[in-house]
A and B are shown apart, each in its own frame.
Chain A
C-alpha cells in the first residue's frame, strides 16, 4: 500500500521519540529474557544438582560418636552418613575448610580436573581457586600438610560456602576443599557432622520427627541440628533465583504498559491529525481494515524491533551470568543451558501484543466515525476533561494556572509521566536503599552492639572460670512455636558482659539482667515489651516460655538475650555452664576445642569484598533508572511541545520572550516529577520490604529496609538533573516553532 511509505517519514520526523519508545521496549524484553532465562536455568541447575547429587535434608552433630548407625538408617529409611571438616588457616591466603567426601549423601561434583585419586589430592571450590590464583596441579601448603590440586568441585551442602550458617557472606578469602579421609586423620580437631537424606521424598516433616524420636530413643545428645530449609548454604541460591524471578515479569510488564500509554497517545494524535485524510480515503473506497492496519504498522514495528533486539541482546547474557554465578557465588556444576522458546516468543510477542492492542483500541475508536465526520476535521472539538473542568484556579498566578492546565489536558500523558518518574525513582532508590540497608546490618554487626573482637564457640559445654578478659555465654538454637522457619538463638550472657552493649530505640542501655530481644526478631514475630514468647529448642524439642522485657535496636541478627544464670537454670544446665566466650583479644584456645571462631576484622574484609560489586550494581541500577527517567520525561516533553505548537507559536506572536515560553511549557511538569518522586518513596519501601521479607522467610534472615535521607536526596538530585537536561534538549525544539503556525492556524 502506497500509504505505508509514510511510516518511514513519520519515524524520521520524530526520531528521538521513537528511539525512546524503542529503548523502553528493548529494556522490557531484555529484562524478561535475561532475568527469566537466568532464574529458570539457574533454578534448574540448582534443583538438578540437589537431586542428582543427593543433597541432604538435614544435618546434625552429636556429643558422642553415634553408635548403631546401621540400625538407625534401617529404622528411619534415611541415608545417614558422617563427614568431617576442619578449618585450615593459610598464611596470608585466607582460610580453607577441608571436608571429607560422602558416598550416599551430598555427592561432590567435579567441575574441572579429576576426582580424588590418592591421599594428598585436593579438590577446591572454583571461586577459592580463582581468587587465590590456584590452578590444577598447584600445591596448597597448610603448614604441616601439602595438597596437590587435582580439580575444582561443587558440594550440594556448600552451594553457598558460608563458614557459619548464620553468616550472610562467606569470610574474605574463605573456601572449601575436599580431601581424603586419610588426610583428614591428621586433623584431630576435625568436627563430625551427620548428613541425612530420606529415601522417601514425601512427608519429610514426619520423617524428621521420626528421626528425632529414634535418636532420642537411643539417648543421643544432639549438639547441633540444621534443617536444609534453615541452612543458608543450601537455601541462599533460592533467594537470588526468586529475586530474579520477581523482577523477570513485573518489570517488563510495567515497561510495556508505560509504552502502551505513550504509544496510545502518539497514535491517537496521529489519527486525529489525519482525520481529514482518513475521511477522504474512506470516501474513496479504502476499507476500515486497511486503514487500521496502516496505523497499526508503526506500533507493531516499534514493538517488534524493540522486542527482537531485547531478546537477541538478552539471550547471550544468560550463559555468562549463570556461569559466573555457578563459579563464584553459589557453587554448582553448570551444564548446557536451555533457552526457553516460550520466553523468546514472549520477549518478541509480548510488546507487540501490548502495544498492538493499545493502538488497535485507539484506532478503532477514531475510525468508527463516518467519512463525513472525519472530513470535518478536529476544529473546535478539543475536549475538556473532568480534571480541567473541576479545577478552580482563580487565586493562582497566570503562570501556575497555565502550567497546571497544560499538564491536566491529557490524562494519559500525565499518568505516563507520573508512573514513569515513579518507576524510575523506585528503581534508583531500590539499589541505593538495599546497599544502605546491608551496610547498616553489617555495621551493626561490627560495632555498636557487639563491641568485641573475637567470639569463640566450643565443641562441648564447659563450666568454671574463663580466661582473663573473656566473657562467657551459652546459646541454644530455637524456633517459635508453630513457626519453625524463624530460627533464632537464645543466648545467655553474663550480667557484667563488657563486650555487648544492648541499646533500645532511644539509644539507652538495656539492663543485661532481663530478657532482651533483637529488633529484627521482635519485628518478625510481632512482639512487644511485656509480651510472652513460647519457643522450642531445636536440639531436644523442649518447650520454653519467656516474657520480653526489652527490645534491642540492632540489625545484626535474631537473638533473645537473657542472664547466663537464668539461661542455665531454664535449660536445666549446671550453674556456670557456657558454650562460648567473647573476648577483646585473641585467646590461646586449641583448634580441637573449638567449634568456631569469629574474627571481626575478617567481617570488615568481607564487607569490603562485598562493597565493590554492590556499588557496581547500584551504579548500574541508577544509570538504567536515569536512562528510563530521561526517556520518559523526554517523550512527555516532546509530546507536550508537539501538542502545544499552536499555543507556543501564539505566545511568540503575543510577544512572550523565549525564556517565558520555555518556562510556561516546560516547567509545568516539575510538580508531576516531584509528585512521582514522592510517591516512589513509600512504594519503594513497600516493595523492597515485601520482597526482602519474602526472601528473608526463605533463608531465615531478615534484611530490614532502611531509607537513607542522603540517598533520597541523591536520587532526587539525579531525577532533577535528568529532568533539567531533558528540558534543555527539548527547549531547542521549542525555539524552532515559527510564529507563522499561529498566523495560519485554523483552530479555535
Chain B
C-alpha cells in the first residue's frame, strides 16, 4: 500500500483539550486518487497536514511509500516534503511578485530531478502566460499555476486542499480534469480534501470524516471522468 494511516490521533491544547483526529485509519494505493470529504472542523485539513509532514500527530502512524512520517525529525520532515510531496491550496498561495514561471521555479529550484518548467507549463495550458504575474491571471489559471508548481518536482504524493473551493463550476471542472490528467500521465498519487461530495466520483478511495473519525469509507470501481462530474 502506498499510503497507510493507522489509528491516528491529534488534539489541540489551548486551555481545554480539543480532539481533532480520533483514531483515523485509511489507505491509498500507488497512482490512485483519494478524496477526503467532511464538514468544517471534521479534521480533514489536520489529517492532510500530518500526511504532508507539516504537522505532527499525537499518536498512531502514517506510512507514505514506506516512510514512517510520524517518526521523522523536523529536518527529515523537511526533506520528506521537499522530495516527495506536492501541495495545492484552495487559494493557490502563489507568490504575488514572481511571474508564473518563477512561481514554478520556487519548487523546481529545490528538486533533485524536476520536470522542465516549460513542459509543465504546456501541460497545464499556460505556456503563453509564463511571464505574467499572478494578479494578471484568472482564478482558474492561478490554480493551474499552483498545479504546475506542485507537479514540477514529480512528487510521489500530491496533496490538494479544496483545490476548487475558490472557483466557479466550469473552472472547477477544468481543474479537476487537469488533476485527473496529471494522475494518469505522471502516475502521481493524489489525495484531495473537499466539501464537494460530487468530486468523490473521480476517486478510487473515498473517506468521509466526521468529528475526527472516519464515518464512512468506500472504494469506487466505476470512476467518472472529471468533465462529467456535476453538482
Contact = CB atoms under 8 A, between A and B. Distances in A.
B102 A401 contact: yes
Given A382-B97, A743-B54, A747-B91, A653 B81 contact: yes
Contact of B96 (A394, A656, A660, A748): A748
Interface string A720-748: 00000000000000000001101101111
B116 to A, nearest CB: 14
B6 interface: no
B181 to A, nearest CB: 22
B110 A660 contact: yes
Interface string A623-660: 00000000000000000000000110011111111001
A225 interface: no
A405 B91 contact: no
B167 interface: no
Q: Which of B49, B54, B80, B81 has the most CB of A within 10 A?
A: B54
A422 to B, nearest CB: 25
Interface string A596-629: 0000000000000000000000000000000000
Interface string A395-412: 000110110011011000
Interface residues of B, number: 37
B79 interface: yes
B49 A743 contact: yes
A41 to B, nearest CB: 52
Given A654-B106, A739-B54, A748-B91, A388 B97 contact: yes
B83 A748 contact: no
Interface in A265-299: none
A399 B109 contact: yes
B105 A748 contact: no
Contacts of B89: 742-743, 745
Given A398-B109, A654-B82, A657-B78, A743 B45 contact: yes
A405 to B, nearest CB: 5
A380 interface: yes
A526 interface: no
Contacts, number: 94
Contact of B97 (A406, A654, A657): A406
A547 to B, nearest CB: 65
Contacts of A746: 90-91
B18 to A, nearest CB: 16
B199 to A, nearest CB: 20
A384 B109 contact: no
Contacts of B55: 740
B95 interface: yes
A647 B110 contact: no
B27 to A, nearest CB: 24
Given A406-B97, A656-B82, A748-B94, A384 B133 contact: yes
B81 A655 contact: yes
A184 to B, nearest CB: 81
Q: Which of A409, A650, A655, A739 has the most CB of B within 10 A?
A: A655
Interface string B92-119: 1111111001100111111000000000
Contacts of A409: 97
A657 B81 CA distance: 11
A336 interface: no
Nearest to A660: B110
A384 B91 contact: no
A402 B81 CA distance: 21
A381 interface: yes
Contacts of B161: 743
Given A382-B97, A748-B94, A653 B54 contact: yes
Contacts of B207: none
A742 B106 contact: no
Nearest to A647: B95
A399 B161 CA distance: 28
A399 B98 CA distance: 12
A4 to B, nearest CB: 29
Nearest to A644: B95
A398 B106 contact: yes
B142 interface: yes
B38 interface: no
B135 A384 contact: yes
Contacts of A742: 89, 93
Contacts of B92: 748
B134 interface: yes
A655 B97 contact: no
A656 B109 CA distance: 10
B81 A748 contact: no
Interface in B138-181: 142, 161
Nearest to B48: A743
B231 to A, nearest CB: 23
Contacts of A739: 54
Nearest to A738: B54
Contacts of A384: 96-97, 133, 135
A82 B82 CA distance: 92
A384 B131 CA distance: 13
B203 to A, nearest CB: 22
Contacts of B109: 398-399
B134 A748 contact: yes
Q: Which of B49, B96, B102, B142 has the most CB of A within 10 A?
A: B96
Interface of A: 379-384, 388-389, 393-394, 398-399, 401-402, 405-406, 408-409, 646-647, 650-657, 660, 739-740, 742-743, 745-748
Interface of B: 45, 49, 52, 54-55, 75, 78-83, 85, 87, 89-98, 101-102, 105-110, 133-135, 142, 161
24 contacts: A382-B134, A384-B96, A388-B133, A402-B106, A405-B102, A647-B95, A650-B93, A650-B95, A653-B54, A655-B80, A655-B85, A656-B78, A656-B82, A656-B110, A657-B75, A657-B78, A740-B54, A743-B45, A743-B89, A745-B89, A747-B93, A748-B91, A748-B92, A748-B96
Which 8 residue pairs spanning A and B have beta carbons closest together? A655-B82, A382-B96, A655-B81, A398-B109, A409-B97, A398-B105, A739-B54, A746-B91
